[in-house]
Amino acid sequence: MTKRLLMYVLLVLTLMAGQVALASEIAVDTFGAAWGFKSGTGVTPKSGNPAYVFANPFTSAAEGRVVDIWAPLGQISGTPQLDVYLLGDAGNSPGTVLGSWTATFPSGTDNLVHISVVGGPTLSLGTDYWFAVGPGSNTNVFGLWNLTDPGDWTDRWYAGDPGGPWTEVPPMNELCAFRVDVVPEPATLALVGCGLGSLMLRRRRK
């Protein structure tokens, strides 16, 4: 293979890898149409004794590293700050905390909050996880995590701490709104690049 062809192959693979890396995929999205959620209605993560952390299960529809999170969050009273968690599954209940992020937002309710995640956990396609919202280190908050519109949820859990123990809440047939986006891992991109490179070399030899 000539040096010119080798340079061409490397350039194409680099550009293609860059395009893939920039393209995020939706792992879960429970919002209604056009980021829809129910105004002023939801569960109430709060500080105090007991503190409340609410969790919602989901099955990841994509594989990759978490890069963006959205949720409608608010503050009914206290300091407008809540923590967002991603957890593994422990047999139909929330499991180990995979990552947590603090979200601050304007006073009041119905804030569509976006969290840009750096060095986030990796989600696997078809694997069960949990999304949770709680007071975190905030010792003075009565918050709100809005329900989606429409919703169909039959499994909600809450706890005083994201480490559990967790208690099941009676089904309310409504779902809280949240979205998680991921991008493919570098190892996955490298495998894709190697495969494309092999195909190009075979075509060249023919």
User: What's the domain count of the chain?
Assistant: 1
Given strand 156-159, what is the order of strands in its sheet? 94-104, 81-89, 128-134, 53-59, 156-159, 167-169
With respect to residue 7, please indicate whether it lies within any of the assigned structural domains.
no
Question: Would residue 151 count as lying in a domain?
Answer: yes
* Residue that wins the pLDDT comparison between 130 and 191: 130
Q: What is the pLDDT of residue 160?
A: 83
Q: What is the mean pLDDT of the chain?
A: 84
Residue 197 domain-assigned? no
Where does the chain show beta strands of DSSP type E?
25-29, 37-43, 53-59, 64-78, 81-89, 94-104, 108-116, 122-123, 128-134, 141-148, 156-159, 167-169, 179-183
Q: Is residue 84 part of a domain?
A: yes
* pLDDT of 89 over the 80 cut: yes
- The domain of 116 spans 25-184
In a domain, 9, yes or no: no
pLDDT (0 to 100) of residue 98: 98
Beta-bridge partners for 147? 176
127 occurs within a structural domain: yes
> Is the residue at 14 inside a domain?
no
Q: Is 73 inside any structural domain?
A: yes
pLDDT of residue 152: 56
The CATH number that applies at residue 95 is 2.60.120
As a whole number, mean pLDDT of residues 42-70 equals: 95
pLDDT in tens, 154-202: 567 788 888 888 988 776 667 899 999 999 986 544 444 455 455 454 5
Rounded to two decimals, what is the model's pTM?
A: 0.80
